[in-house]
Structure 1
């Protein structure tokens, strides 16, 4: 892979704006486990090596188990490892990440809504939107994980 532009250096105000969403998310009621599951799963779907690496490290630091991290891309196939609430968020994450495949289904939306009030659901959606922004920046510019 050839070297590509560095958006943070070339357009620091744009980078700062995206980082501002992260600052906002730090103030929300989304628990840390859900935040990391969102970040890892969206990054897996988007094929963002940099973000997968970063967020699996962060998840481990917060006490996430290796098993749950390893099986996250097959969460639908595993019974009892993820809570119903986590499964609702993972489904929402996938559908929002793959938005061009038909959007967010009513079933997925209603299921998520059954676990979260409107404000928390909005916060979760912003978390999904934010990681997708980071993923797209990192994948498009070939940002590599630290070795």
Structure 2
């Protein structure tokens, strides 16, 4: 186990306020908690954020995401039958935006997402991807401690 470097919330209780506002925007729209959970988990897998993986796996189960989808999410391209085309488009966009320095966001990824998400949903999806990447970076940089397991 790594030692937590800093608890941002304790050091500056206001630091997370902009992120909480972004989360309110993201969760107040039509994307659905199940889709948001897949996006958050896939970005967190790529970034290696244990804290966020733990949190969003619980949220996914609460949103009734099929356990099998969660189990194979890192290899979703090998199990496309498990995911709707909309989910696949969101996951592919999540990967491209999360690893944006590799190839940017390829046109085919953008077109697939645009085909499955209305124009007004695209900003929300992009904000969800951006938000989880910020949360991942904060948690990883500070070695944010996992919450204790319930007894």
TM-score, with normalisation over the residues of structure 2?
0.93
Cα deviation, residue 103, structure 1: 1.1
Find the aligned partners of 1:119 and 1:3 in 2 and give their Cα distance.
39
User: Aligned residue for 2:82?
Assistant: 81
Unmatched segments (≥5 aa) in structure 2:
none
Following superposition, the deviation at residue 130 of structure 1 comes to 0.5
- Is residue 19 of structure 1 aligned with residue 20 of structure 2? yes
Moved over 4 A (4+): none
In structure 1, C-alpha distance between the alignment counterparts of 2:3 and 2:55, rounded to whole Å: 22
Partner of 1:140: 141
TM-score (norm 1): 0.95
Please provide the CA RMSD for this pair: 1.1
The number of residues matched between the two structures is 147
2:122 maps to what in 1?
121
Relative to structure 1, the CA distance from residue 3 to residue 56 in structure 2 (aligned partners, 3 Å threshold; closer, same or farther) is closer
- Structure 1 range deviating more: 58-67 or 5-14: 5-14
**Partner in structure 1 of residue 97 of structure 2:** 96
Q: Secondary structure at the match of 2:80?
A: coil
Corresponding position of 2:113: 112
The Cα of 1:40 is off from its aligned counterpart by 0.6
In structure 2, distance between residues paired with 1:3 and 1:86:
34
Give the Cα–Cα distance (whole angstroms) in 2 for the partners of residues 82 and 121 of structure 1. Answer: 19
Q: Are residues 1:64 and 2:65 paired?
A: yes
CA displacement, residues 68-112 of structure 1 (integer Å, 9 cap, x when unaligned): 101000000113100111001000000101111121110100110
Q: Shift of residue 127 of structure 1?
A: 0.4
2:104 aligns to what SS in structure 1?
Answer: coil
Gaps of 5+ in 1: none
